Structure 1
Amino acid sequence: MVAVCVTAVLPGRAWAVAPGAAGATDSSGGPGAYAFAEGITPIRGAAGTSDAPRLTAGETYKDALKSGSELVYRLDLDAKSNAYVSAVAVPKPGSKVATSDRLKVSVQDRNGIDCGSNDARFGSADFPRPLAAFAYRTMKRDGSTCQEAGPYYAVIERESDAGSTADAWDLEIRHELEPGLKTEGPTAAPENWPSASPPAPAGGSRERTGGASFSDATGLTTGEWTDHIEPGQSRFYRVPVDWGQQLFASADLGSSPGSGSVGGALAVTMFNPMQGVVNSADSVLYDGDQKSVDLDPMPPVKYENRYDYRAQFSNARFAGWYYLRVSLNPKVAEEFGKKPYGLTLRVTVRGDAAPAPAYDGPAGIFDVSAADEEAAANGQSGPEAERSGTMKLVAATGIGAGSVLLLGLGAWALLARRRAARTARPDAGSAGPPQFGPPTSW
């Protein structure tokens, strides 16, 4: 007898990574703990290029970056693909940071030429929270540098104010490749595009709990979503945005009794699939009354956006999962109490999906699939969606194997009955009693 087990996967967030569990390596256990990617690979960056460890495309790594230092990693690139490296820096909850503290990521060639770089700062909301930036080597039609195959180097730097806590920042590092194009397209970002904010999403609010990192960010679709956030905590969400589409987002912090005020109370940032900042807002003054933060309109996702000098355009260069990070200043607890605060997100994805660029190979993470749309609708993080897909495959395989077995048993029974009937016929001779057993061939 064969038992076929089918596991039902219900919509919504199935579980959250708890501090101390696999993927949550911050030992603080507080609301600001960051859940590092499952299966993350430890690595130790070098002080120089000669002994820099190699990053493999598609892998995620964990390192630590001291104050005022830099780490170097090697990239072995071909002469066709666009290459990206991102770094998420995670200061310890409760540490002191300054507005000017900076994380910078660069990709450099063998001659030290900067192929592409970005940085991130705490800005006016000077409290510890995960910072993220990305760098790139982009293949260009008329490019003269950073175009050949060979070794390149990812350099991650940290600059800190003298008054900031000197403890090392944990790093989550990713390396991805984007295939080149079969045929070149436009090289100028569009000048005219819909920039008016859409009306508030209809249908009322629904609850959805945010994740604790990019890797376990909760999926969202167009709609109004409610959550709770504690002072010092960062919530992460992800939204699939396809080619030609725009993402609009706003966040509301609920009211609370009490007196006083906190500057830079709520920091909201939108990131692209490689954790590059598209736009952000962090100057909210919270006085106990409800406050709203509207991110600037995001231009439609287009391949040619990468040729624009403005980050708002150049970082909206590919389709895939776009991320929202919402962080609440820990000083809010001092003025209004250490407790969860109401948080409302309004998300709108506008526009029909356009055809993808003529990639010369699989797009990898720079794509929106039907499975991605389903994961967003169900509120799943990346690991949850992967486990859900695995269980569906296991269930389908089990049902398929069970069906084959049942068909085989049915065929065996039918052949046995026919054999018995032939034996029982008068002209069958003295063949003896019916003989039952599996057929000698199928």
Structure 2
Amino acid sequence: MHIVIIGGGAGGLELASKLGKKRSNKKLRDQVQVTLIDQNDTHLWKPLLHEVATGALDDGVDAVSYRAQAHNCGFDFQLGKVINIDRDTQQVELAPLINSDNEVVLKTRYVPYDYVVFALGSITNDFNVEGISENCIFLDKPSQAMRFHKELLESLLTLDETLKTEPDASLTISIVGAGATGVELSAELFHAVEVLKVYGLSRLTDVHLKVNLIEAGPRILPALPERISANANFELSALGVSVLTNTRVVKGQADGFVKDDGELIASNMMVWAAGVKAPDFMSNIGGLETNRVNQLLVKPTLQTLTDEHIFAIGDCASLPLEPNEIIPTNSRQRMVPPTAQAAHQMASLAFKNLTQIMNTNQPSSDSLKSFKYKDYGSLVSLSHYSTVGSLMGGLSKGSMMIEGRLARIMYVSLYRMHQLALFGFFKMVLIAISGRINKVIRPRLKLH
């Protein structure tokens, strides 16, 4: 049996690691092969990309090599970009691999499968707004976060030099989308300026950084309780972030965002973090049913509606929170949210169901477990200034708002849980210790 996992994000890499370790059983080692496919060489936990963008996190230190993880956990890794799936021949098609000199390193390849799991995550949805893709930076993957980091350092260096002769000069960064990414990035930017003053850019102060956080809705963090939203809004405003709610952007251009009333929000750097969708090539891939944001429609067992041999987990899967829920007229069905905790829970269930299939070779939905999403709450980090959020479900009775140091500890623990799933307890502890040591011996911010 050959299980192919497409996408090495939080859910995909966790699933590949668990299935690979499962093959340590001698009986399964000879019968089961697990292959992970990703277009990148390394993995970074997506909720931390805003820290890579500002330099608070060093991708060179924290990135996980897919090949090393494959060796350690007993699965195979193939570098490549999936472009199609042939369900008749049960093959996944990979695009040619092109190097930086535009030379073909690997020709088109076809990977056979018995079962395939789509775990591609999501990309930013620009909603076809004019000029957005040409003028904005997205934070979907490490390469984009590193591009932002490079431009940020260059812009702040230029600003520091300009301040010699123009003391009122400033750098304006505008972020569209006040979800977790936009809110956390806004706070991290002020922390970056604060740290860079220590490393030679002594003319910079908070006054010289202008951050606009733009949200079309009535409040920031719309997916979280209103109390948390209000608390985060207060903290951001205290830092100096200009929070613009009920503000709809209709165009992006080189010098800023254009609002629906025609006013220009002048900007030096522009980030779009207003929505997510599955990659465009996923639309009806292999004849599978997809929704308007290219997510695969799946059953509670996480198998696609069309093919029991194909699973989908994480942001690229569309599953109702309550499949049998009666939806009132003019209301939208509540879906499993595209979050890291949902991807982790889906990976855990997919592992159980694929293990069941390994043991019985029966893909029938009747013999597999159904997914039940558990909301353990949400946490938002405002850099080292504050952390706010709520604990729910199994972590507290009902819902409990937390903030400050306790919230920060819980926020960090989410990443540790991801590392625990990948590496096991002992290695996770060593990585945590190494991280504490690096805080002492390495710069407080990535400076290159």
- Find the structure with the greater CA-based Rg: 1
TM-score bracket relative to the smaller structure:
under 0.3
- Kindly indicate which of the two structures has a greater share of residues assigned to strand: 1
Normalized per residue, the structure richer in helix is 2
TM-score (norm 1): 0.24
Relative to the length of structure 2, the TM-score reads: 0.23
